[in-house]
Structure 1
Amino acid sequence: MDGRERRRRGVRLTAAALVALLGLAACGSGDSGGSNDSAVSAPQAAPADKDRAGGRAEQGGGQAEQGGGQAEQGGAGAPDLRVDQRSIIYTGTMRVQVDDVDAASRSAIATVTAVGGFVGGDQRRSADADATAQLELRVPAAKFHEVVDELAKLGRQQRREIHTEDVTEQVVDLDARITTQRARVESARRLLARATTITDLVSLENELSRREADLASLEAKKKRLADLTSLSTITVSLVGPDVSTADEETEIGFLVGLKGGWQVFLTSMTVLLTVLGAVLPWLLVFGVPLVVLLVVLRRRRRRGPPPVTPTGPAAPLPTAPPPVPAARSGP
């Protein structure tokens, strides 16, 4: 009986051990499944997060692309803005042949005043068909090319020269120097207000005067540049129909030299005759009496003084000395 009970107990223990082992195996499998599920869910969650991050990145990329597009648009427009903001001095020279110089001059002046400009100089020489006029016109820089084209329509354009000068760097440099100089002037004024001795007062006053003079000079330069950049200069020469249209060229040769020499001779003779005409009245008033006086004095010198006659007894004539006897040479 004891043996059977021991066997039964062994079987029960063995069965309990098997059940325990099976339970442990079931728990291990459950844990592994849970871990697998978590492992599976984790990769699934990771792509989701990646998708979200990717969406955000795509949105950010889209915004960056939009910003880049705006930057590109701004970069494309920046050069035009920079050109518009640059300080450029325009100067032009023209020569136009017209039928009526006076009428063309009035038209040119009206064109300039219509765009807000003015006439800086006006020189004319009226000689019918050989008349000429030289106008110095100041026009706004924005209307420079428009006015040049309008002036070319007054007649037959013979010459046009346009020059530009970019002074942007000079303007920027002047602005910086003016800002610095103003700060120096303010500093000198503050120091002058704190001066306590006569020596410091005189020294600071001299320094302040020097700095203010430098500031005034810089501001005058900037004002000059602003005037040249805001108002362009056009020098237009209007000539009549009979004025030579050929440009001035350097010519050489015998005929050219002969023509030049003849012109110089005529000019010299004209000047000589002009001087003679100016001096002739003085010669008639003062020269003729002077010549007559000189002639009279010369005639008196030629006649000489009258001969003087002796009044006393005549002086005896000198006599020759007596002859000297010759010496004898022998007995």
Structure 2
Amino acid sequence: MAALVVLLMVTGCGSGDSGGDRAAISEAGRGDVPQAVDGAGPAAERGGAGPAAERGGAGPAADTRVDQRSIVYTGSIRVQVDDVEAAARAATGAATRAGGFVGGDQRRSSDADAVAELTLRVPADRFYPVVEELAGLGRQERRQIDTEDVTEETVDLDARIITQRARVESARRLLDRADSISDLISLENELARREADLASLEAKKRRLADLTALSTITVTLVGPDVSTADEEREIGFLAGLSGGWTVFLASMTVLLTVLGAVLPWLLVLGVPLGALWWLSRRRRRRVRPEPALVAPVGTPPPPGADLTSSKVSESPPVPGARSAP
């Protein structure tokens, strides 16, 4: 059984490698594996055609007709109408009649310059008729339609899903043969990893199927006073001046807000601290000693002083003493 566990771990290195799975299936016994699953992995990965491709025939994946391809349609349209609310109801009704639904609804109502932006999801085969119906609600100003062919990605996902399902089945069969706790834990971890990979692939397939089955149309309905130029970004000196003034006002608003938040703290803490600092400074001035006006006796003259022109202070005459001749 340990050999089976080692073989399973080796084959689990890559989710797209089907050769190891076939070896694991052979080790577990080919008798209990359906023939369709056993032969689908490598053939699907090579060309996505399965057994039909091995027989030389063209399977469903080899069909290159337009109606058999997976195409994602996305479109956006801008229409100017007289009544935005009425046009929005008409657009919603068009999507509902086509078998779709409204995926998003944003409106701004203000008399004649009202704007409504709707996101419609409609079946792919009803995409162009719905677009034309939306254009007929008023005067069309802009239309953009994009398509993306995801046929190859869809075929690749189908092949990988088939292969991954076979890998999961092989891991389950080996798990049934586990005869020790260590083998059971290893096989359970490997099976959980393979099942998680399979779930991820199936989620991608469902996402692609949703995009191809339902197309997305973004319709913008504007009132008669809203022009396309109003929504375009302006450039030039005046536009820069206007933008700079707006930023200046916003900055001043932020500055005043911060000042208003800090001012109470300044009044509560700043005024007492300032008063204490002023009193301590005044006290230091009072106790500061006065500088000596006369240099003490015996102090040598500063370097570079002119001794010839300096006046020597005479001591006061002593009473009764004679002056020298």
Q: Shorter-chain TM-score category? A: 0.5 to 0.7
Rounded to whole Å, the distance in 2 between the matches of 1:289 and 1:279 is: 16
1:261 maps to 2:244:
no
* CA–CA separation in structure 1 for the residues paired with 2:63 and 2:161: 27
Q: Aligned partners of 2:119, 2:155: CA distance in 1, in Å?
A: 29
Q: Does 1:191 align with 2:170?
A: no
Aligned to 1:99, what secondary structure does the other structure show? Answer: coil
Q: Which residue of 1 aligns with 2:145?
A: 162
1:136-172: CA deviation from partner (whole Å, max 9, x where unpaired): 1111111111110111112211111111111122222
Aligned residues: 233
Higher helix share: 1
2:78 matched residue in structure 1: 95
What residue is the counterpart of 1:286 in the other structure? 265
- Ranges in structure 1 where 5+ consecutive residues have no aligned partner: 1-78, 310-316, 324-331
Distance 1:290 1:261, change over 3 A: farther
Instruction: Note the alpha carbon deviations across 1:151-208, whole angstroms, 9 max, x for none.
Output: 1112211111111111122222222221122122112111111222223222222221
Matches within 5 A, 1:53-92: 82-92=65-75
Range 285-294 or range 83-92, more displaced: 285-294
Which letter maps to 1:141? Answer: A
Q: Relative to structure 1, is the Cα distance of residues 301 and 84 closer, same or farther in structure 2, using a 3 angstrom cutoff?
A: same
TM-score of the two chains, using structure 1 as the length reference: 0.61
Could you say if the C-alpha distance between residues 261 and 181 of structure 1 is closer, same or farther in structure 2, counting changes exceeding 3 Å? Answer: same
2:248 aligned partner, one-letter code: M
Residue in 2 that maps onto 1:237 = 220
Deviation at 1:215, TM superposition (A): 1.2
Instruction: Kindly provide the amino acid, as one letter, of the partner of residue 266 in structure 1.
Output: W
Please name the residue that 2:108 is paired with. Answer: 125
State the Cα distance separating 1:242 from its structure 2 match: 2.2
Question: Offset at 1:89?
Answer: 0.7
* Alpha-carbon distance in 2 for matches of 1:211, 1:299: 78
The separation in 2 between residues aligned to 1:261 and 1:217, in whole angstroms, is 49
Q: Compared with structure 1, are the counterparts of its residues 169 and 283 closer, same or farther at alpha carbon in structure 2 (3 Å cutoff)? A: closer
Q: CA deviation at 1:126?
A: 2.8
Alpha-carbon distance in 2 for matches of 1:223, 1:319? 107
Matched, 1:214 2:197: yes
Tell me the TM-score normalized by structure 2: 0.62
What letter matches 2:172 in structure 1? R
Confirm whether residue 227 of structure 1 aligns to residue 206 of structure 2: no
Distance 1:218 1:200, change over 3 A: same
Q: For 1:215, what is the secondary structure of its paired residue?
A: helix
Q: Which has the larger radius of gyration?
A: 1
Give yes or no for the alignment of 1:137 onto 2:120.
Answer: yes
How far does the alpha carbon of each residue in 1:37-56 deviate from its partner, in whole angstroms, 9 at most, with x for none? xxxxxxxxxxxxxxxxxxxx
Q: For the structure 1 residues 126 and 274, does the alpha-carbon distance in structure 2 shift closer, same or farther, using more than 3 Å as the test?
A: farther
In structure 2, list runs of 5 or more residues that go unmatched. 1-61, 290-294, 300-313, 316-325
Question: Aligned residue for 1:312?
Answer: none
Is 1:178 aligned to 2:169, yes or no?
Answer: no
Distance in 2 of aligned mates of 1:128 and 1:241: 10
Secondary structure in structure 1 of the residue aligned to 2:236: helix
1:148 to 131, 134, 137: 131
The secondary structure found in structure 2 opposite 1:234 is strand
Gap change, CA 1:271 and 1:151, over 3 Å in 2: same
Instruction: Describe the SS at the equivalent of 2:122.
Output: strand
**CA deviations over 1:287-329 (Å, ceiling 9, x no partner):** 34555445534543564454699xxxxxxx9888999xxxxxx
The two structures, once aligned, show a CA RMSD in angstroms of 3.3
Aligned-pair identity in percent equals: 64
One-letter code of the match for 1:84?
A: D
Per the alignment, residue 108 of structure 1 pairs with 91
